[in-house]
Amino acid sequence: MADLIKKSVASPAGSDPLTYVMSDETVDRMGDVIEAKGWQLANFAKNPIALFGHDHSFVVGHWTDVRVQGGKLIGKLNLLPAGISERLDEIRAAVQAGVLRAVSVGFTSDPDSVERNKSGGWRFKAAELMECSLVSVPANPNALQMAKSLNLSEDVRSIIFRDPSDTEFAAKPEQAAAIVQPAQKPAASGMKGLPVVKLNDPARVRAKPFVINKVHR
């Protein structure tokens, strides 16, 4: 089985807090893009569990009405019922208040369906959705103020907020392009697939599978 690849995207503020853009055709900070028409959803539909942070021990609900629409992969989050645990209830409050608007898809892609794009990253012409997780969001002042008004515990705040300087949103496309080798495209055989890259990891960690010698920042 091919390695799991992970890509994050944030939904617009002010939209339905339970409807998420899971993926779109925007070139991301790594220079990659996933073609919306290439999403394969049949297997995901059999077990559409929603996780937090790709952690299979941290189930927050399940996804429904997952579809490609207007060049975007969209899904509706159905949260677990209230009262299961205090932590889940706090996550629920953060979602419903519009604080948690970022998700990350985990998917696989056949090497033959991946090609270089003009930005120096990869274009995924086909991708099989394996799972989709809520992920932490940048700890900006507005989000922190909202968390305070919701009386979120320190434990939950540490889960849902991250340092904006250590995220994919702070990375520069030219940094990614500078450290990726063109020859790294996965071959049809002899490789398990693309390296696993968690885009909410620090930039230096994300770059490691592709580093030529050293990364100078």
Report how many helices (DSSP H) and strands (DSSP E) the chain contains, helices first. Answer: 6, 13
Residues with Cβ within 8 Å of residue 183, at least 6 apart in sequence: none
Q: Which active-site residues does the annotation give?
A: 54, 104, 131
Tokens of 102: 């970022």
CA contacts within 13 A on the Cβ side of 36: 16
127-134 and 114-116 beta bridge pairing: unpaired
CA distance 64 to 99: 21
49-52 and 55-69 beta bridge pairing: antiparallel
Q: Which of 105, 137, 100 is nearest to 17 (CA)?
A: 100
Q: Which of 14, 5, 56 is nearest to 34 (CA)?
A: 5
